[in-house]
A and B are shown apart, each in its own frame.
Chain A
Amino acid sequence: MRPIPVDSQPFFNRGPSPLTRLAIFGLLSVALLFADTRYRYLENVRQGVAIALYPVGRALGMPGAALAFVADYFGSKRQLADENAALRQELVARAPATMGYHRVEEENARLRALLDVRSRDGSTAIAVEVLYAGRDPFAQKVFVDKGTSAGVQAGAGVIDENGVVGQVTRVYPYMAEVTLITDRDQAVPVQVERNAARSVLFGNGTGRAPELRFTSPSADLRVGDRLLTSGLDGTYPPGLAVAEIVDVVRDTGQMFARIVCKPLAGIDHSKFLLVLAPSSPPPPRPEEASDTDTTKKGARAKARRIAP
């Protein structure tokens, strides 16, 4: 084999060889992966890069704006488009009311006043617009155009005009990341509208419908049942529409029935969303003493407390 004379010996010094650089950056990535998954050390770095990325998110809205402008140029469509956008915003803002939330709220307010409980403030919901969707095929996330600067808080529920969309999982100064209810790690406590049976709706990841897991085969669930939030988690206020049961599989060989659901909200196409005000934190868990496991743990904790 004849060696290629060109470039066999680098004429100029260009620093370490590509393989060395790959090794260095490869190790750095592994270190980052470890630090991020195990310890979440890097949230500050993420915040910084997110600010730099914000213009990109804004730019993504620009083709739409440009199209609207062209439409205006050729006809009087702009007014219609603006009106449409305004109406959509309003529709979302009124979504809780249309879902029967408002009426219940009023009723509750009276009862709460009787009980002298601080009423939940429903006025601080924030209307947001979707900037872009995450590309990751393993997760279901969208990014919205408001963040901590507008008062969005991590953990808040997010809805559109038809129902629950997801939950804010990370906030940046001018953006927020919303994990959709179809995400594999997302769960929503629900209640069947017809008979108030409680369950939890689990997301199943990209391309798979969410399911009600761990439901006994004898549970009274039918195709077409609407699922509402039960409000037990303190994230979503009770009574918001979440999903509809589209398939019930009762296999006698299985421990649980398979209940396939379809989200009611426009999970993958809604443009305008509403971030709900985070509700008051749920009361602390009561002390459990009956469970053997917890008593053991408690005993160990007590022992540790005494030992040193």
Chain B
Amino acid sequence: MRVLPHMGSFVPAAPEEILRPAKPWFVLLSIAVGLTLNLVPLPPEAMTYRPDFLALVLLYWCIQQPRYVGVGSAWFVGLVMDVGDATVFGQHALAYAVLAYGAEYFRRRVLRFPLWQQAVQVAVLLVLCSLIVLLVRFVGGAMLPKWTYLAPPLVGAALWPLVSVLLQTPQRPSRSRRNDGF
């Protein structure tokens, strides 16, 4: 299969466009922002649907910059999340490591698709990620959560296009940014 013709959909950077390498500080900053968004206190109704922003950011960097962010760094970030959430050590670490591996596994393919089709594939990974957390909790003796447990990964997948565009912006060559009307 050759490169899919993209159908004029919401694709800010074409697969052929060469992005500049991401600045390490920007990667770190985005991870810190993801962590912060994960911990902001919200009313309980909103809390049920809050996606895992940190997983989204990690997934983006695992796909775009596999040399900066991979299985190991995702694992470490997961440990920090475990402390932030006061959950059992290793729960998020395991989930994020699997997520990073999944990203590594299909990253060459996923970038060929337009963003909304990427989102569908991202949804599968994010659901897998929360099922791992569920499995760990089951072993720890938790009860079966309500169906809304699957809402955050789906909301997260829906946010994928937005997150991609936001994280991509600093890497785009200045020429194309000027063409966008800046």
Contacts and interface: CB of A to CB of B under 8 A. Distances in A.
Contacts of A139: 86-87
A111 interface: no
A173 interface: no
Contacts of B104: 18
A49 interface: yes
B94 A33 contact: yes
Contacts of A207: 44, 48, 146
Interface stretch (B11-19, B32-40, B169-177): B32-40
Given A18-B70, A21-B70, A35-B89, A137 B36 contact: no
Given A18-B71, A25-B75, A56-B32, A132 B41 contact: yes
Contacts of A14: 67
Contacts of B35: 56
A106 B32 CA distance: 50
Given A132-B41, A135-B39, A33 B88 contact: yes
A61 to B, nearest CB: 10
Contact of B90 (A21, A32, A134, A184): A32
B72 A132 contact: no
A36 B142 CA distance: 16
B75 A28 contact: yes
Q: Is the interface of B mostly helix, strand, loop or mixed?
A: helix
A33 B86 CA distance: 13
Interface residues of B, number: 49
B95 to A, nearest CB: 9
Interface residues of A, number: 49
A56 B39 contact: yes
B151 to A, nearest CB: 10
B38 A29 contact: no
A52 interface: yes
B42 interface: yes
Contacts of A53: 80, 83-84
Given A18-B71, A135-B38, A205-B143, A32 B83 contact: no
Contacts of B89: 32-33, 35-36, 42, 45-46
A262 to B, nearest CB: 14
B98 to A, nearest CB: 7
B137 interface: yes
Nearest to A35: B89
B29 to A, nearest CB: 12
Contacts of B50: 135
Interface in B53-108: 67, 70-72, 75, 78-80, 83-91, 93-94, 97-98, 100-101, 104-105, 108
A268 interface: yes
